[in-house]
């Protein structure tokens, strides 16, 4: 029964996505890479949420909550403020410039080399870090929930290999052959399913604890594990409270404001108003995120104690234990959709970056739009195969997925954020400053986290990586501004309006943004 409902819901999403996209002209760059710039607020919000909310987050963040409690909700609730900043400050500038990729701005603001460096860093991050982790975490969840090793008579690692390639092949079909609109439509349907299914897990978990009463279960949980409900992390926590005011907000701004896989959904909005409303809607729903990606981890700690081999097992084992078998197939299907969403969204963005920023720019400048799209599809196939090959080896990583992902992402996230922020806030900082800023940022972070921290100072005597990010951000901004003072551009940079979409803003964007920000602050005060 579970298998049938899994297959049925998965096929339903595919059929709806096909009929919703069959009239989209995918023979043009805007049609294929940005869904014809036609996405409405609801689709933008749904696609943003599901691109973000995948198994590396559901499994990884719940695993972190199993270990440390509600303090890890910072990764969810503070995202809402970053999305507000993106809606108010960054998106109007992106749409005014008619961008298809974020690095395109770097070309107009600085030069082609800067754009190419940023695109290369994005692509490297996708193939080496993000795509393999999405595939691995999804495969681990599916293998655990359906008990694939026992079903097929194979080891857990072999099961991870099988699931990785199954997920990867299906996700590649969506991303490579369907274009962005197919990805966005399937995301929206799966987002609804995931919100419903995701809220069912803590509900049934609390009912399990409370012997049939969810409210009684919550009371027991609060009384028996009060230390898990303190949002203020100490200096040795994965998210010390001080990091909220340093690197945490920088990571959130990079992810929601400059990460191609995420912001591409807002770039595809039919106009600025729809894009801003989509971001604000997603921000509001994001505040509820801890119910899905934090509370189940705390419930798992109460039920299983500290007996699990790895914290990343907490969520799949909880699902298997508390969810009625009749609903297991449906939940696995929406979880499968979330896995596909993050995978195919990042893959589609990687294809976009390669096609627009490399193939068209350096390989074949005279290529027609159809040829550009075809080259991107071939690149996507190669990228998917590489990711599917790397993913199973994360099995041997030996640490929590979410923390690993965030720390390693710092290699390129803060340097890229630095040059984008300086690019929009100044007019005379030259291209050489951006190149020095992005390269020094990457090199210094690598030296800090992968040489000084483990081999010179030791894990216990070194600043938290989020503090390191903030220090390097300030340092690189200072370097760029000093270069700009002594070697300024000949002419001031001026952002030109390309008129690709209407940039009339949503009239309540600032008021709604302020309300969302106050709610986030209120949540922190309540749990402190």
Q: How many domains does the chain have?
A: 1
pLDDT of residue 70: 93
pLDDT of residue 31: 45
Asked if 84 and 283 count as a contact pair (C-beta separation under 8 A), the reply is yes
Residue/partner pairs of 4-7 with CB below 8 Å, 24 or more apart: 4/329, 5/326, 5/328, 5/329, 5/330, 5/333, 6/329, 6/330, 6/332, 6/333, 6/336, 7/329, 7/333
Confidence of residue 25 (pLDDT cuts 50, 70, 90): very low
Q: How far is CA 477 from CA 85, 429, 442, in A?
A: 19, 10, 14
CATH number at residue 421: 1.20.1730.10
Q: Is the pLDDT of residue 314 over 50?
A: yes
Highest mean pLDDT: which range of 19-33, 195-209, 305-319, 327-341: 195-209
Highest mean pLDDT: which range of 168-182, 184-198, 231-245, 343-357: 231-245
Q: Is the pLDDT of residue 525 over 80?
A: yes
**Tens-place pLDDT, residues 330-378:** 787 777 777 777 777 777 777 777 887 788 888 888 777 778 777 877 8
Q: How far is CA 396 from CA 77, 132, 136, 296, in A?
A: 31, 13, 11, 25
Q: Which residue in this structure is represented by tokens 């922020």? A: 421
Residue 244 is part of which domain span? 2-526
Please state the rounded mean pLDDT for residues 283-308. 91
**Tens-place pLDDT, residues 380-429:** 888 889 889 988 887 776 555 666 777 888 899 999 999 999 999 999 99
Please state the rounded mean pLDDT for residues 235-247. 87
Confidence of residue 434 (pLDDT cuts 50, 70, 90): very high
Can you state the angle between helices 325-354 and 41-52, rounded to 10 degrees? 100
Minimum mean pLDDT among 148-162, 291-305, 503-517: which range? Answer: 148-162
- Give the distance between the most distant pair of CA atoms in the chain: 72
Half-sphere exposure of 311 (CA within 13 A, CB side): 26
Q: Is the pLDDT of residue 119 over 80?
A: yes
Asked if 224 and 60 count as a contact pair (C-beta separation under 8 A), the reply is no
Q: Is the pLDDT of residue 250 over 90?
A: yes
CB neighbourhood size of 210 (10 A): 16
**Tens-place pLDDT, residues 29-77:** 444 444 456 678 888 887 788 777 777 788 888 988 999 999 999 999 9
Minimum mean pLDDT among 180-184, 313-317, 357-361, 396-400: which range? Answer: 180-184
pLDDT of residue 8: 66
- Percent of the chain having pLDDT more than 70? 88
Would the pTM of this model clear 0.95, i.e. be above it? no
**Please, what is the average pLDDT of the chain?**
84
Three-state DSSP class for residue 112: helix
- Percent of the chain having pLDDT more than 90? 39
Please state the rounded mean pLDDT for residues 325-332. 79
């Amino acid at each position: 029964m579970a298998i049938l409902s899994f297959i049925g819901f998965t096929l339903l999403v595919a059929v709806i996505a096909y009929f919703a996209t069959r009239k989209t002209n995918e023979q043009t760059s805007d049609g294929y890479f940005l869904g014809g710039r036609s996405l409405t607020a609801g689709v933008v919000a749904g696609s943003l949420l599901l691109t973000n909310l995948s198994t590396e987050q559901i499994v990884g963040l719940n695993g972190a909550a199993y270990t440390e409690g509600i303090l890890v909700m910072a990764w969810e609730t503070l995202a809402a403020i970053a999305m507000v900043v993106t809606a108010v400050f960054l998106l109007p500038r992106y749409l005014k410039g008619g961008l298809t990729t974020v690095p395109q701005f770097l070309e107009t603001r600085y030069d082609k080399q800067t754009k190419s460096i940023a695109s290369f860093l994005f692509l490297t991050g996708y193939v080496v870090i993000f795509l393999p982790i999405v595939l691995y975490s999804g495969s681990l969840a599916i293998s655990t929930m359906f008990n694939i090793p026992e079903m097929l008579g194979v080891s857990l690692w072999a099961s991870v290999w099988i699931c990785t390639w199954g997920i990867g092949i299906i996700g590649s079909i969506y991303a490579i052959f369907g274009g962005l609109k197919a990805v966005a439509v399937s995301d929206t349907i799966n987002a609804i399913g995931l919100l419903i299914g995701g809220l069912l897990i803590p509900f049934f978990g609390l009912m399990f604890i409370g012997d049939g009463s969810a409210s009684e279960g919550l009371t027991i949980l609060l009384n028996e594990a009060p230390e898990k409900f303190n949002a203020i992390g100490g200096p040795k926590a994965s998210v010390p409270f001080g990091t909220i005011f340093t690197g945490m907000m920088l990571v959130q701004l990079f992810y929601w404001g400059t990460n191609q896989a995420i912001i591409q959904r807002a770039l595809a909005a039919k106009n600025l108003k729809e894009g801003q409303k989509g971001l604000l809607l997603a921000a509001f729903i994001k505040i509820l995120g801890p119910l899905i990606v934090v509370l189940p981890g705390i419930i798992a700690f109460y039920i299983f104690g500290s007996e699990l081999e790895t914290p990343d097992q907490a969520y799949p084992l909880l699902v298997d234990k508390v969810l009625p078998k009749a609903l297991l197939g449906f939940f696995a299907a929406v979880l499968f959709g979330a896995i596909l969403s993050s995978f195919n969204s990042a893959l589609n963005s990687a294809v976009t970056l390669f096609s627009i920023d490399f193939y068209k720019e350096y390989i074949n400048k005279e290529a027609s739009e159809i040829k550009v799209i075809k080259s991107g599809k071939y690149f996507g196939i190669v990228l998917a195969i590489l990711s599917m090959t790397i993913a199973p080896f994360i099995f041997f990583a030996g640490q929590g997925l979410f923390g690993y992902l965030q720390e390693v992402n710092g290699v390129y996230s803060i340097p890229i954020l630095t040059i984008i922020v300086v690019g929009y806030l100044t007019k005379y900082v030259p291209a050489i400053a951006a190149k020095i800023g992005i390269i020094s940022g990457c090199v210094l972070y690598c030296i800090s986290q992968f040489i000084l921290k483990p081999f010179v100072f030791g894990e216990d005597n070194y600043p938290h990586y989020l503090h390191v990010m903030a220090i390097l951000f300030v340092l690189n901004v200072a370097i760029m501004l000093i270069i700009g003072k002594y070697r300024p551009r000949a002419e001031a940079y001026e952002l030109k309006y390309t008129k690709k979409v209407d940039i009339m803003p949503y009239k309540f964007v600032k008021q709604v943004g302020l309300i969302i920000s106050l709610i986030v602050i209120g949540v922190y005060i309540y749990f402190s």
